[in-house]
Amino acid sequence: MRLLFLACLTPKTGNHTTAERIRSHIESAGHTCELRDAAEFQSPAQVANLISRYPAFDGALAIHLFKAGRFLLDIRVPFGVIFGGTDINEDVKVVQKRVVMEQVLLKARFAVAFTEKLKEEAELFLLPQRSKIFVQPQGIKTEVTDKFCWTEFLRSSGVRSDHVDELRVFLLVCGLRRVKDPLFLLEVFSEWHCKNPLNVLVIIGPKMDPVFTVEVEAVVKRTAGVFLAQERSQQELHTAMKRCFAVVNSSVSEGMSAAILEAMDLEVPVLARDIPGNAAVVQHEFTGLLYSSPQEFVHQSQRLLSDHELRERVVRNGKLYVEEHHSLKQERETYKQLVDTALT
């Protein structure tokens, strides 16, 4: 079977990584899966025309009901959709977008939510399509490289210290866009850094919103103890995560943060903002630490610094959680079954 797969493919983002992983699952089942960036298209008619061209596609998939799924409304082959965090956390608040998302969900043969909570929210805000919404958490696989210099990484990010090996680097992994709220912690973290210069915050991720990126760069430039790193390959990012003291999430909303799960898999502590998407995967004081304010972030960080038993516990349990609930093998089997049964 030949499938068209639409997703938002900004390089080095969670969406891109997720789409590539799911594409590989589908192709491992013997299908052909052509992954295309939803940004290439302006209307459903363009996608319908592409679908029908020779060699024609037999079915389609999309990640994000509005951003990508709306382009599948005119096609005459079966399709499935995968919820993104923005769907339920943001897009349903806009009436025009919600109407489109309801149409997509109604026509889709199946929909996949990363968490039970996301499924419940979808059923609450959209049409009650319980029978077609499946829960499949993201499968996680991490890989580090020995072709990575931690000292060079920090220096290239602007970190200047004679005690690099003593630094406690908090790594905030996010694309530079407002929903990730990378500025949330900066003022309070900087105050903490001035009292404890070994504590530094490094923000790393692709520049997704050009206007917001300029704002972030300006704020970081005048904020002591906070640095901005250039985006890296997945292997290099995982290696940097492995070397840091803790991985940080400060998002306003999340579907399921791959960076949080990757940190757990790499046995690195997680400090995540207490929002529904994060609380669905981070159990406070068991698999990670949650915070609601910048002040509470510093408090939880101080606990992580002083309480070695707490650190060991969240690292151990985080690793076990990912192994039990985010199996790559189970994710592959789920998508194989959905494609084989619903799109044929």
Amino acid, single-letter form, for residue 39: A
pLDDT confidence of residue 129: 62
Provide the CA 298 distance to its chain's centre, in angstroms: 24
Tokens linked to 54? 């020779």
Q: Token match 């997704």: residue?
A: 208
pLDDT at 137: 93
Of 186, 194, 253, the closest CA to residue 219 belongs to: 186
Domain match, 117 and 101 both: yes
For residue range 58-78, list pLDDT tens digits in order: 999 999 999 999 999 999 999
Total domain count, the chain: 2
Whether 253 is covered by a domain: the verdict is yes
144 located within any domain: no
The reply to whether 333 and 286 lie within a common domain is no
- Cβ neighbors of 315 (< 8 A, separation 6 or more) are 267, 268, 269
Check which CATH number belongs to the domain holding 280 and give it.
Answer: 3.40.50.2000
Judge if 81 and 23 occupy the same domain: yes
Q: Is residue 221, in this structure, part of any structural domain at all?
A: yes
Residue 57 has a pLDDT of: 95
- Looking at the fold, whether 261 and 116 belong to one and the same domain comes out as no
- Judge if 74 and 170 occupy the same domain: no
Same domain, 177 and 294: yes
Q: What is the pTM of this model?
A: 0.88
Give yes or no: residues 115 and 194 share one domain: no
* Whether 179 and 321 share a structural domain: yes
Indicate the DSSP class of residue 40: G
- Same domain as 191, residue 56: no
CB 257 within 8 A of CB 272: yes
My answer on whether 106 and 156 are in the same domain is no
- Residue 116: the pLDDT is 87
Q: Is residue 280 domain-resident?
A: yes
Domain that holds residue 69: 2-139+327-342
Do 57 and 181 lie in one domain? The reply is no
Q: How far apart are CA 115 and CA 119, in angstroms?
A: 6
Which residue ranges of the chain lie beneath pLDDT 70? Answer: 128-130
**203 and 92 together in one domain:** no
